Structure 1
């Protein structure tokens, strides 16, 4: 019997510490729940503080009106339009290039020191402060091409800012897929291109869309890059889609109102602008969740 107990204790080294392990497990669970609830409450409280002063004061005249430099009662129409316009242009540039680079690194790039160095560079660029990309945009569009502060310069600079993140997200989403998925596609006679387009990308779509959602929210609320490459003014027209017009966005307008504006109702404009900015960032995240939900439903049915 002694030999049996010894054998059991040898095969199960945690048997004698069952009580201590159970207590540690409960303590860790309580700690995780406490931290999680505290973070959620903090986020909700922060959103409430931002939205409670701005949302009740919103009006159509404010959302679609022209900003005023001196008189009170100005709107945010051109700045809000520029925010969506620059976001759209930057995503049109960044998404194809970022996905293509991520697919290359995941599926075609050789496993050598050069590619490892490229990955390190991409990860480094993903953590570079946005003002560095703004300085790059000045050097490229303002000084080299002599275009001045334009929507085009702001959109391309934002695309450069988002490219490293999209590249790494795409690569890691594809690398995280099981190898059996690709092997099964090859076994059915599919080419490498067909496997990437019809198997790997749909299977990795959840991670890719999550990355796009993150960079879209970041781009919509970005101010440093826009200030340096697109300026702090608008063309003065509500529906101006010229790529060479000044491109003040809502985030830049909020910064300008809080720091340099001389209008009497600057604080009121700042509160309403902050509420609109947070609301649309949340809306962008919600919109990008719809394809995630549709893709998960499709994968469940198949």
Structure 2
């Protein structure tokens, strides 16, 4: 008995030492992979921005595109990018939030709702070109309005709607049930609980989802090519919903693949820099509500 009890602490000490070594190795591996990923992202950004960013001018940002002569700008395409993004978010955010809240709070737990969730998850992974073909079938063939900003915006909204629905549902479900019960105990109605408890607590996840779909919509090209076309109206500030809606991503693709202007390569480099800059800016802008919400929660 004495020998066994004396050997037990020694064996436990050996296991603890091995666990510590494994823990250090795993921690070092995670640090190594994380640093490699960060360096890869920074290197990729450097390669994409080093040629185009120093050449940017205000004339390029506000100028009209040129089909033959060099020196054209991206003004209408850049405006269409923000215009289509705003319209698509104005459609998809209310619908996505409403659908996600319904699935999380009101939908019964049965096979039909389970099938709906499966369909929503499936639509989230459908290639964007499928939504472009859907937009052609609706706006070009059925309503015969042609390639327009309206068709591109609505098609992008359909593309983003499943993602927003799932993100909203999961964010609402992640709120601790104790907070919800406490709100009911204080006499709040279900609607008041959703507005004042569930949505504010789940706001971080919801805004993160909106940020992801906004960046995806701003850089989307396949849907826009099929539903809004590869040309603009030629005006810088064209709010007509039935005008052609070439965006910056589509203009970049067109210049790189089919344009005949002499400085096509330079235009593509500068357009790439602008596209990356505004995608990063969109992410920063959407982080501001998260920062404000975090400060409010701490107070």
TM over 0.5: yes
- Residues 221-242 of structure 1, C-alpha deviation per residue, up to 9 Å, x if partnerless? 0000000000000001111010
Distance in 1, Cα, partners of 2:136 & 2:271: 27
The offset of 1:15, in angstroms, is: 5.8
- In structure 2, the residue matched to 1:161 is 159
Query: Is 1:257 the counterpart of 2:236 in the alignment?
Result: no
- In structure 1, the residue matched to 2:242 is 244
Query: Is 1:278 the counterpart of 2:263 in the alignment?
Result: no
Match of 1:116 among 114, 117, 122: 114
Q: Structure 1's 14 and 182: CA in aligned 2 closer, same or farther, altered over 3 A?
A: farther
Distance in 2, Cα, partners of 1:232 & 1:95: 26
Distance in 2, Cα, partners of 1:62 & 1:201: 42
- In structure 2, the residue matched to 1:75 is 73
- Residues 95-118 of structure 1, C-alpha deviation per residue, up to 9 Å, x if partnerless? 000000000000000111111111
**TM-score normalized by the length of structure 1:** 0.96
- In structure 1, the residue matched to 2:23 is 25
Distance in 2, Cα, partners of 1:261 & 1:167: 39
Q: Structure 1's 17 and 188: CA in aligned 2 closer, same or farther, altered over 3 A?
A: same
Q: Structure 1's 99 and 21: CA in aligned 2 closer, same or farther, altered over 3 A?
A: same
Q: Which runs of 5+ in 1 are unaligned?
A: none
Q: Structure 1's 251 and 14: CA in aligned 2 closer, same or farther, altered over 3 A?
A: farther
- In structure 1, the residue matched to 2:298 is 300
- Residues 69-94 of structure 1, C-alpha deviation per residue, up to 9 Å, x if partnerless? 00000000000000000000000000
- In structure 2, the residue matched to 1:175 is 173
Distance in 1, Cα, partners of 2:126 & 2:3: 62
- Once the two structures are superposed, the pairs formed by residues 73-112 of structure 1 within 5 Å of their partners are 73-112=71-110
Match of 2:288 among 287, 290, 299: 290
* Consecutive aligned runs of 4 or more in structure 1 exceeding 3 Å deviation: 1-6, 13-16
- Three-state SS of the structure 1 residue aligned to 2:51 is helix
- In structure 1, the residue matched to 2:265 is 267
The offset of 1:19, in angstroms, is: 1.6
Aligned residue pair count: 297
- In structure 2, the residue matched to 1:151 is 149
Distance in 2, Cα, partners of 1:288 & 1:3: 65
- Three-state SS of the structure 2 residue aligned to 1:225 is helix
- In structure 1, the residue matched to 2:49 is 51
Q: CA RMSD in A?
A: 1.5
The offset of 1:54, in angstroms, is: 0.7
The offset of 1:284, in angstroms, is: 0.3
Q: Which runs of 5+ in 2 are unaligned?
A: none
- In structure 1, the residue matched to 2:205 is 207
**TM-score normalized by the length of structure 2:** 0.97
Distance in 1, Cα, partners of 2:12 & 2:33: 28
The offset of 1:3, in angstroms, is: 10
Distance in 2, Cα, partners of 1:3 & 1:82: 81
- Residues 176-233 of structure 1, C-alpha deviation per residue, up to 9 Å, x if partnerless? 1100000000000000000001110001000000000000000000000000000000
The offset of 1:248, in angstroms, is: 0.1
Distance in 2, Cα, partners of 1:64 & 1:99: 35
The offset of 1:34, in angstroms, is: 0.4
Distance in 1, Cα, partners of 2:3 & 2:127: 64
Q: Structure 1's 2 and 46: CA in aligned 2 closer, same or farther, altered over 3 A?
A: same
The offset of 1:21, in angstroms, is: 1.0
Q: Structure 1's 134 and 14: CA in aligned 2 closer, same or farther, altered over 3 A?
A: farther
